[in-house]
Amino acid sequence: MKVTLVMAGDEEGGLEKHVVELANCLMKHHQVTVVAHEKYRSRLKTEFIAIDLSKSRRNIIVLFQLYRALKALQSDIVHVHGNKAAAMVGSILKFLPTKSVATLHSRKKNTKMFKGFDAVIAVSPNAAETLEHPNKYIILNGIEPPELNSDINKITPPVVLAVGRLVPVKGFDLLIQAWQDIPNAQLWIVGEGFEKQKLATLINELALEKSIKLLGFRNDITDLMQQASLYVMSSHYEGCPYTMIEALLCKTPMVSTAVGAMAQILPKQYLCAENDANALHHLIAYALENLKQVERDFIPVFADAEKNLVLDGMVNNIEMVYREVLDGK
């Protein structure tokens, strides 16, 4: 197949990682082109067309550049990722002689921009609930299994790890509040974002600077996950986050707010309501006090992740959607 992937924006997150890995894997069997911001060119082995889709989704010049590129490519499938890319390509879709697929990467209230596509993929059941489309599929994210270092052991006293962009949706302020009165453990928060100073101030106000560390950007996430006794997600909403998959493939148990794919994959006793610092506090405290039991409870979860949350399985499912779209099903 001749496949074109489109992503808007210029951020560093799960969506961008998904598109890069999907493109590089698809090109083993298909002709693949990626249309995206110039910054991603060096990460891709595919053909690449640089268009700055981080600009307004109504920017006439950018939309014309996008239309001209997609028309010239004459792909069998145009596959767009995220709401903004869906809105931009959706506005010109009727002028393009191609089949189309879109991926919804997290739960959104407004999904009107996906209506014109031949099929829509949601990365979690939670995201799919708000999507009204006659041809929708749920395909969980998958990644290349991380290379584990057998020389790395869990740190004592235990470390609880959280990874993500420092933005409101990740709920790191909630996590910091929930950390109060957690004894004999360290919380490491990895990531960069505009809330960094706000979070640092909150840590100081709550006198938690000795037990919470903001580590900033790190390129050794796998090592950190192997060192941690527990991974925590405090997000207000998610799709199927890569950090969850990485943690499970690193055999690090986790607790989370009951959002996105976590509500489907994790044992119910390790989930709590979003935006509830008290509930998250009790969940973390229980897990740290019962780490041996937590590890036993996660044995089947780790096994399931090794089977279903890896890149090859995800790509096979996406190719199936492509074939069904091209066959007119």
Residue 132 shares a structural domain with residue 180: no
What count of Cα atoms within 13 Å lies in the side-chain half-sphere of residue 88?
32
Asked whether residue 246 is domain-assigned, the answer is yes
Task: Please indicate, yes or no, whether residues 136 and 212 belong to a single structural domain of this protein.
Answer: no
* Per-residue model confidence (pLDDT) at position 329: 60
Identify the bridge partners of residue 14 per DSSP, sorted by sequence position: none
What is the pLDDT of the chain when averaged over all its residues?
94
pLDDT at 107 over 80: no
Locate 318 and state its tokens: 């996406």
Residue 186 and residue 116 in one domain: no
Q: Confidence class of residue 108 from pLDDT cuts 50, 70 and 90?
A: confident
Query: How far is Cα 307 from Cα 53, in angstroms, rounded to an integer?
Result: 35
Give domain status of residue 95, yes or no.
Answer: yes
Residue 205: CATH number of its domain: 3.40.50.2000
Question: How many residues would you count in the chain?
Answer: 329
pLDDT digits (tens, 9 = 90+) for 210-258: 999 999 999 999 999 999 999 999 999 888 888 999 999 999 999 999 9
Q: Is residue 148 part of a domain?
A: no
Quick one: pLDDT at residue 223? 96
Is 90 exceeded by the pLDDT of residue 34? Answer: yes
Which residue has better confidence, 208 or 18? 208
Task: List, for residues 47-97, the tens digit of each pLDDT value.
Answer: 999 999 988 889 999 999 999 999 999 999 999 999 999 999 999 999 998
Q: Is residue 287 part of a domain?
A: yes
Instruction: Over range 274-282, report the average pLDDT.
Output: 97
- Token pair 């506090």 is at which residue? 281
Same domain, yes or no, for 267 and 213? Answer: yes
Tell whether 105 and 210 lie within a shared domain.
no
263 found inside a domain: yes
Whether residue 298 lies inside any domain: the answer is: yes
What is the number of domains present in the chain?
Answer: 2
**Residues 98, 27 share a domain:** yes
Residue 32 or residue 329, greater confidence: 32
Question: Is 149 a member of any domain?
Answer: no
What is the model's pLDDT at position 292? Answer: 96
Q: What is the mean pLDDT of residues 99-119?
A: 92
Shared-domain flag, residues 320 and 294: no
| pLDDT band at residue 171 using 50, 70 and 90 as cut-offs | very high
Domain extent for 16: 2-142+310-326
% residues pLDDT > 70 (the chain): 100
Q: Are 167 and 298 in the same domain?
A: yes
Above 90 in pLDDT, residue 287? yes
How many distinct helices (H) and strands (E) make up the chain? 13, 13
Same domain, 163 and 296: yes
Helix/strand/coil for 163: strand
User: What's the pLDDT at 72?
Assistant: 96
Is beta strand 99-104 parallel, antiparallel or unpaired with respect to 119-122?
A: parallel
- Give me the mean pLDDT over the 98-118 stretch: 91
- 277 and 317 belong to one structural domain: no
**Are the C-beta atoms of residues 24 and 44 closer than 8 Å to each other?**
yes
DSSP H helices in 119-179: 125-129, 172-178
Residue 21 has pLDDT above 70, yes or no: yes
pLDDT higher for 155 or 129?
A: 155
Q: What is this structure's pTM?
A: 0.75
Asked whether residue 187 falls in the same domain as residue 314, the answer is no
Side chain identity at 281, as an amino acid letter? Answer: H
Q: Characterize the bridge pairing of strands 230-233 and 159-163.
A: parallel
Domain assignment present for residue 150? The answer is: no
pLDDT digits (tens, 9 = 90+) for 293-304: 999 999 999 999
Shared-domain flag, residues 74 and 211:
no
Sheet holding 136-138, edge to edge: 47-50, 31-36, 2-7, 77-81, 99-104, 119-122, 136-138
For residue 105, pLDDT beyond 90: no
